[in-house]
Amino acid sequence: MKLTSSVLVAFTLAAPAFSQGADECTGATTLVSGVAEPFVTSGQTASAEAWLCVDQAPDLWYQYTTVGGSGTLRVETCGSTYDTALEVFSGTCGSLTLQDCNDDGCGRQSAIIIPLPPGAGVTYYIRVGGYAGAVGSGQILLIEGDDPDCAMADALEGSVDCATATPLGDGTYVGLNVEEADNDYYAVTIPAGATLSVDLRFVASISDVDLFLWDPAVACDSNDPTSTGLALAQSTSTTGTESVAYTNASGAPLDVIVEIDMYTGGGCNDYDMDISGVGTVVTSIGTSYCTANANSTGAASEIGATGSTSVAANDVTLTATGLPTFAFGFFIVSDTTGFAANPAGSSGNLCVGGAIGRYVGPGQIMSSLGTGSITLGVNLAAIPRPTGAVATAPGDTWSFQLWHRDSSPAGPTSNFTNGTTIVFN
């Protein structure tokens, strides 16, 4: 079996050095856009700079210098194991200007999105702390992005009205976009007695986004004048966050619709969304194949897929479990299955063949954190291939696998999960 040189290089990467942030602003650790870095705040000290949105807590400092000429900067600690806090500053150490402070942006973790000024070379300082003195382990991810482009479909595109609303459960959904002519709709089932919370984050200076919650049996469109005043809940501020909460007191499960509305005429904006209180929506898809070798945990890791095999639904989530904790990895994909034992010195088995694509874009190389798992939402309109992304068509078959860094008595190594094959319709 022939592997592309780029795939071979990826499979031989050594285990990462631990890029812990600095204890003070001076000497702040440099972040790379799209690369998640693990951290531990236990044993650190609290810096003298006062927090705007939380109390003092042991903290770590990072820095990033922009390479683009505008767009947005997203920083988040989503998926961390404790109640984090996050600040972003411009300026220099000793003369910092606060850009934003966030406590709970994705569950009890933190997320910030700020607009970038024209021109490259602007340095930002990022401080990670904790709510009420909390400390723990987690990961920080920074992404420098272009200006919103609503012509580019996001991972949940296709939910254009109530009838086509994408079913969602608890989770953080990042990198979504909405425009005036194409509001987004998501279907959620609230268990009896449960409280649904939905939170949005975006850059308000680009365009204003509003949030509505509907009972579709009553009304379901913020742009329909007859729906005025009929929403179960709504949030229509002019800030860069919108939040709603609704408790289902009906005594039975309640199906509701979350609508993301572009308020600004002709507007387009990116947003992140956090949903909690309703549990997960899980429909297993795909067929497992190939055998994974045991990793440093003593057991083999495993890949699974949930969502829908419908191309139109564009709803596929990959999850790898049983990984070593705080191990970096990424998913790979091919239209061909295969088998190669210990490729390029790896401790695992490669289960895909032919032209192999890698999910190594911004935010796609991830850490397994303390859970030993990595999850990725797949955009069926942009499956990576060595020559560029391709769209999935009904009848296509894709096979997925996860490569990850590992350790062995002989030193740093890598390994793989088993594979899963999905036939789309």
Tell whether the model's pLDDT for residue 380 goes beyond 50: yes
Q: Are 172 and 274 in contact (CB under 8 A)?
A: yes
CA 125 to chain centre: 22
pLDDT of the residue at 104 = 82
pLDDT > 90: percent of the chain: 55
Determine whether 75 is exposed, middle or buried from the number of CB atoms within 10 Å of its CB (0-12, 13-18, 19+). buried
Q: Which residue is it, tokens 């049996």?
A: 217
CA-to-CA separations, 346 to 11, 17, 154, 399, 413, in angstroms, rounded? 7, 19, 34, 20, 6
Tell me the C-alpha distance between 303 and 129, whole Å. 33
Give residue-wise pLDDT tens across range 161-184: 888 888 888 887 877 889 988 899
Kindly list the structural domains of the chain, giving each domain's residue range(s) and its CATH number in brackets, ordered by start.
29-145 (2.60.120.380), 162-276 (2.60.120.380), 282-423 (2.60.40)
Determine the Cα–Cα distance for residues 220 and 202; give it in Å rounded to an integer: 23
* Sheet containing 241-247, strands listed edge to edge, beginning at the edge strand earlier in sequence: 171-179, 268-276, 195-201, 241-247
pLDDT of residue 8: 42
- C-beta of residue 316 within 8 angstroms of C-beta of residue 285: yes
Asked which of 6-10, 43-47, 301-305, 390-394 is least confident by mean pLDDT, the reply is 6-10
**Average pLDDT, rounded, for the chain:** 88
Asked if 129 contacts 58 with a C-beta cutoff of 8 angstroms, the reply is: yes
Rg (CA), the chain: 22
Q: Are 277 and 197 in contact (CB under 8 A)?
A: yes
Confidence of residue 12 (pLDDT cuts 50, 70, 90): very low
For residues 337-359, give the mean pLDDT: 94
Percent of the chain residues topping a pLDDT of 70: 94
Residue from 56, 82, 59, 61 nearest 129 by CA: 59
Residue 3: pLDDT band (50, 70, 90) is: very low
Query: Which of 322, 202, 317 lies closest to 264 in space, CA to CA?
Result: 202
Q: What is the mean pLDDT of residues 89-95?
A: 95
User: Which residue, 162, 176, 177, is CA-closest to 256?
Assistant: 162
Whether the predicted pLDDT of 5 surpasses 70: no
Q: How far apart are CA 418 and CA 294, in angstroms?
A: 11
Q: What is the mean pLDDT of residues 93-120?
A: 88
| Pairwise CA distance, residues 328 & 346, whole Å | 15
Which pLDDT does position 282 carry in this prediction?
59
Of 241, 248, 195, 242, give the one whose Cα is nearest residue 222.
Answer: 242
Q: Among the listed ranges 116-120, 182-186, 258-262, which one has the minimum average pLDDT value?
A: 116-120
Q: Is the pLDDT of residue 420 over 80?
A: yes
HSE, CB side, 13 Å, CA atoms: give it for residue 46: 16
| Cβ burial 290-326 (10 Å sphere, 16+ → b, else e) | bebbebbeeebbbbbbbbbbebebbbbbbbbbbbbeb
Q: Which of 71-75, 103-107, 297-301 has the highest mean pLDDT?
A: 297-301
Long-range contacts of 43-50, Cβ-Cβ distance < 8 Å, separation of 24 or more: 44/135, 46/129, 47/23, 47/127, 49/25, 49/96, 49/127
The pLDDT of residue 21 is above 90: no
pLDDT for 242: 94
> How many CA atoms, within 13 angstroms, populate the side-chain half-sphere of residue 153?
19
Tell me how crowded residue 198 is: count the other CB atoms within 10 A of its CB.
Answer: 26
Q: What distance in Å separates the CA atoms of residue 303 and residue 320, rounded to the nearest whole number?
A: 4
Residue 218, C-beta contacts closer than 8 angstroms, at least 6 positions apart: 230
pTM exceeding the 0.85 threshold for the entire prediction:
no
pLDDT at 281: 58
SS3 per residue for 154-217 = CCCCCCCCHHHCEECCCEEEEEEEEECCECEEEEEEECCCCEEEEEEECCCCCCCEEEEEECCC
Q: Are strands 209-214 and 184-190 parallel, antiparallel or unpaired?
A: unpaired
Give the pLDDT of residue 331: 97
Give per-residue pLDDT as tens, 260-316.
Answer: 999 988 888 888 888 988 876 556 788 889 989 999 999 999 998 888 888 888 889
